[in-house]
Amino acid sequence: MKQIIQSNGGAAPIGPYSRAVKAGNMIFFSGTIALTEDGNMVQDSLEAETVQVMENIKNLLEDAGISFSHVVKTSIFLSDMAHFAQVNEVYARYFTGDFPARETVAVAGLPKGAHVEISVIALAG
C-alpha cells in the first residue's frame, strides 16, 4: 500500500510526480533542487544552492514527521564532479554520525539549470 506524503510548503513539483511516497515503513523522496517556495532557483553560489536543497529536504522530512536521522540512502546528482567537495561540505552539516548510504554522480544536465539535485530514502517514524 502506498501513501502520498503531502507537503505544506516549498515549491510545487515541476512535473507529474509526488514529492514523497510512503510504502510500508519506507518513504521515498523525489529529487530536490534549490527551488524556493515561490518557485525561484537559488543560484547565488554553489554553497547557497546546496543549502537550499538541504533545507528543502529538511522541510519535506519534517512534513513526513521525521528528520535526517531517519535517512538511510541519498543520491546526489551534480552538473560537474568539480562541485563534489563543496556540496559534500554542506551536505555533512545536516547529518550527525551514522551517515546514510550514498552515491554521487555527475550528469549531463539537471532541471532549471541546477548544479545539484539530491533525493533521499528514509525510514518512516
What percent of the chain is modeled with pLDDT above 90? 81
Note the pTM of the prediction, 2 decimals: 0.94
Helix (H) or strand (E) holding 29: strand 26-32
- Domains in the chain (CATH in brackets) are 2-123 (3.30.1330.40)
User: Which DSSP string do the residues of 82-103 spell out, in sequence order?
Assistant: GGHHHHHHHHHTT--SSPPEEE
Chain centroid to CA 69: 14
- Cell readout for 57 is 529536504
What's the rounded mean pLDDT across residues 85-102? 96
Q: What is the pLDDT of residue 79?
A: 98
Least confident window among 4-8, 22-26, 43-47: 4-8
What's the rounded mean pLDDT across residues 4-18? 77
Helix (H) or strand (E) holding 58: helix 46-63
Nearest Cα neighbor of 67 from 120, 6, 10, 8 is 120
How confident is the model over 28-85, as pLDDT tens digits?
999 999 999 888 999 999 999 999 999 999 999 999 999 999 999 999 999 999 999 9
pLDDT level of residue 97 (50, 70, 90 thresholds): confident
Q: What is the pLDDT of residue 18?
A: 86
